[in-house]
Structure 1
Amino acid sequence: MERRNDPCAAAEVPPPAEEVAHDLLWARDLRSSLRCAGALLALLVLIDGAAGTLTDLRALLWFTLAALLFLVLCPTRIAAGEGWLTARGPLGTRRVRTDRLVSVRCLDGVGQRLVLRDTLGARLEIDPRVLVASPALWHRLDEDARVSALRGSLVCGETALRRVSERIDRETALTVFKVSGLD
């Protein structure tokens, strides 16, 4: 007896869902910014209340000041998938095509920033510490930057990426030494 092909068996298997890498420091940083804003609000209300000058208008002013502090301290949430990197903050979202990078620059100063630009004109700044703490994010960015370099669109930035890679390797080695007791 000849077996006939089952039409269900011939159906295509859907491709796996795209893996998205997220910033591992975001939740901790968000809690820290909430604690700072809350502590400021509590301190201002406590001092004003102890002085006997707390009114509804002053309480609103202190709340507004604490909310502004939270907005300043609120971290951006970084996520990456194949060909893109997104930064979501309280004031908006920025996205850059990492498989079409034109430049990657490292801005030194008080707070280091990695500036990514793509062929579509999009620009995104991220803290390199996010990449150091989130290996999946770094892996995604590194793979896509290599694609950009192979396509010839990455004009400048290989040095900046190499510096970040060396920093990540150094941090990983130090962590391995600490865990194994060889530090």
Structure 2
Amino acid sequence: MGRKVRPRRTARIRATAAPATVPATETTTTKTTTTTTTDRNWARELRAALLCTGLLFALVVTIDAANSTLTPARTAMWTGVSLLLYAVLHPPRVTAGPGWLAVRGLGGRRHVCTDLLVSVRRGEGSTPRLVLRDALGARVEVDPKILVANPLLRHRLETGAARARAYGLLATGGDVLREMGERMDRDGARGIFETSGLATTPPPGRPPRR
């Protein structure tokens, strides 16, 4: 009798699913360029105003406490005086961008479109001010010293004023900006010469001024 040969069982191989290959996605990072120019001295002046206000309040309260005259009414009075001092010392924050200039104070924010300026004039009063008004009726006042200390702010203003003049909008005040710019350039050059010591050096062949 022949021997039965059993057919071999084929081993089942578990198919391992290969992980799907996920194509690499390139992530594009868009860098946002900030085009706003800010007064670089504003933060320092704000700290100085807060420091002066705090020192005044601490001084008067300490004197009252030492004299045993500190009462809730006097504390409220000194608080009001300190807040009034801070309101006087609080520096306005001047910012500018392409086609606009803004001034933010305790009373809120005001801005003008420098591309639409219709008038630029000097403000009346003991404190020098530059008054800007645009075709939309907006109006701001800027301290010229801020423009002197921040050439980028001055550049924003002059660029917008040049466009307004090209559009035929800026009828009055172009000479004010020009004179202010020339004076700033002279003061800046004088400051550089004084810092370098060249302003005190007399020309060759001339005696020094007495």
TM band (smaller chain)? 0.7 to 0.9
Residue equivalent to 1:145 = 161
Counterpart amino acid of residue 175 in structure 1: G
Counting only pairs closer than 5 Å after superposition, residues 2-151 of structure 1 correspond to structure 2 as: 17-151=33-167
What's the secondary structure of 1:162's corresponding residue? helix
Distance across 1 between alignment mates of 2:62 and 2:31: 57
Residue equivalent to 2:7 = none
Equivalences, count: 173
| 5+ residue gaps, structure 2 | 1-25, 200-210
| Identity of matched residues, % | 47
User: 1:112 touches 1:127 (CA, 8 Å); kept in 2?
Assistant: yes
Higher helix share: 1
Distance across 1 between alignment mates of 2:119 and 2:139: 10
Counterpart amino acid of residue 126 in structure 1: V
- The runs of 4+ residues in structure 1 deviating greater than 4 Å are 13-16
| 5+ residue gaps, structure 1 | 1-7
Distance across 2 between alignment mates of 1:160 and 1:115: 11
Higher relative contact order at CA 8 Å, sep ≥6: structure 1 or structure 2? Answer: 1
TM-score by length of 1: 0.86
Which string of whole-angstrom CA distances, capped at 9 and with x for unpartnered residues, describes residues 42-96 of structure 1?
A: 2221222222110133212212221121122101100000000011112200011
